[in-house]
Amino acid sequence: MAGVIEDFVSSVVSSALQEVLKKTGVRKTTRRTRRRAAKPKSGGLIADIVEAALKPQSARSKPARSKPARKQVSRRRTAAARSKQRSRA
């Protein structure tokens, strides 16, 4: 009976120790992978040429408009940058 209890306790302690040791390693930040956009399935090059030729003139590609410039946001300087500026002046 004592042997069974000793085996049980030792197995629990060893598994707990393994869990603790597994978690104490240096962790890297997880990198997110970029997903590629799925390419539209088409009939191939010839099908694209035929489709473009059959489209009416008004439906053909128009030049894409560029997005307006983003509004600039003021950012507070870091303490180090402020002290550098103070020492220069």
Domain range for 16 is: 1-25
Residue 77 lies in a domain: no
User: Can you read off the two tokens belonging to residue 87?
Assistant: 């020492």
48: CB partners within 8 A, 6+ apart: 42
Does a structural domain hold residue 2?
A: yes
Whether 44 is covered by a domain: the verdict is no
List per-residue pLDDT tens for the chain, 89 residues long: 778 888 888 888 888 878 777 766 656 667 777 777 777 666 677 888 888 888 876 665 666 788 898 888 888 889 998 898 888 87
Q: With respect to residue 20, please indicate whether it lies within any of the assigned structural domains.
A: yes
- Predicted TM-score (pTM) of this structure: 0.27
Number of domains in the chain: 1
